[in-house]
Amino acid sequence: MAGLKEHSYIYRAFPALTHSPFRWFWGGQIISLIGTWTQNIGQVWLVLQLTNSPFLLGWVSAMQFLPTMLFSLQAGAWIDRLPKRNVLIVTQSIFMILAFALAFLVGTGAIQYWMLIIMAFTLGIANTVDIPARQSFIIELVGREHLANGIALNSAIFNGARLIGPAIAGIIMGFWGPMWCFLINGFSFIGVLGILIFVKAIPHGERIKARHKSLRKDILDGLRYIGKTPRILLVMMMMGFLSAIAMNFNVLVPVLAKIDLQEEALGYGLLMSSLGFGALIGALTVAIRSAEGPQPRMLLIGAFGLGIFNVVVGLQNTYFTSALFLVFLGWSMIVFSASANSLIQITVDGHYRGRVMSAYNLVFGGMIPVGSLYAGTLSDFWGAKVTFVISGILTLIFMVGIVFVLRHLRKGEHHENSGYV
């Protein structure tokens, strides 16, 4: 009886879990995403071992996200034409092959910096298709009613993996080296691929019916739709700026650990786990509040939190306090990004979902190369701490401007529930 009550409480708090296809997919992703974060940390540390250069590390990160800038809009139009599950089977298979290839190159001692650049770019191409396809697939697993909760739960496991994966990577690299990070990631895709093959999704009639349209026309239709939908446009503007300036953790945290705080691989892994712990709490916060409907105010809270805690992290002089405030920074990051994702997906017309989510991926991931070069260059000159502070100040200035814009828009609205704030 207690078990039934416990499950009843869980399903009330997280109603997306009442859908068994989502539960299977969600469970499979847990293992896969832990593997992905293990590889991410291993790759970053490997670059620093090979080059000892924050600037060259920034280039690897930039090359990984460059395909998002180049191909996101085309990927979105393509995704809207195809079954999402089939797309995901292909992209997840590519991730598995790349992980095993990287493990082989490191294990044989053949790895060189230029190979990591090529690997990062190839991974970025697959990610450009995989991320919007995975986001668009959620509605086929839970329906529109539980979409916001499904998105938040998806964010929760991503950030739970961000907590666990770096800690595992730090231990593995400390004892056996980064090759095992890549090998573990390769094996982690086997389960999720099996689930994708057998899970039964619920088509929601959102695939483009007019297949005779050109890809270019589909892309332009999607861009026009975004331009005519103020809520989506404003959220994307916020996401683009904050991705470039306030969320460069893949560059700044390893530099903070290795150069500013003089830590080894384990210390770096635990700093990333601190960020991941905060991100997990942030994702659960959004998931629980999503039962009450969209939470636009959470978007602003997360954005201002990013500004404040970037500054606070940059002002710390000890490992312990840096780790502590990275928790708050991780919370702010996910409260902002998960709220942004939910608001866009709830607002978007289903026929434009793939294209809009690819445009979202463009401004989210596509600005990361810009941000990586910005963060890598500044930290090369002044260190990670100063770069954190500058990033936080720029974010706060930008968000004050956004608040003024929102107030102006609200004055022009004739309906109270316009959804901006």
> Nearest to residue 64, comparing CAs of 132, 118, 101?
118
pLDDT at 2: 44
> What's the pLDDT score for residue 1?
42
SS3 of 213, please? coil
User: Which residues have C-beta within 8 Å of that of residue 366, sequence separation ≥ 6?
Assistant: 65, 68, 69, 72, 240, 243
Task: Identify the pLDDT of residue 263.
Answer: 82
Q: Return d(Cα 148, Cα 339) in angstroms, integer.
A: 9
Q: Which two three-digit tokens encode residue 351?
A: 């026929």
What is the model's pLDDT at position 197?
A: 87
Of the candidate CATH numbers 3.40.190.10, 1.20.1250.20, 3.40.109.10, 1.10.630.10, the domain formed by 13-202+211-412 belongs to 1.20.1250.20
pLDDT of residue 13: 64
Q: In whole angstroms, give the CA distance from residue 79 to residue 128.
A: 11
Spans of the chain, pLDDT less than 70: 1-13, 200-215, 290-295, 350, 366, 409-421
Q: How high is the pLDDT of residue 305?
A: 96
Q: Are 360 and 236 in contact (CB under 8 A)?
A: yes
- Rounded-to-integer distance, Cα 393 and Cα 399, Å: 10
What is the pLDDT, as a whole number, of residue 205? Answer: 46
Cα-flanking dihedrals φ and ψ of residue 203, to 5°?
Answer: -60, 135
Task: Check residue 154 and give its pLDDT.
Answer: 81
Alpha carbon 21 to its chain centroid, in Å, reads: 22
Q: Is 386 exposed, middle or buried (0-12, 13-18, 19+ CB in 10 A)?
A: middle
The answer to whether 212 and 15 have CB atoms below 8 angstroms apart is no
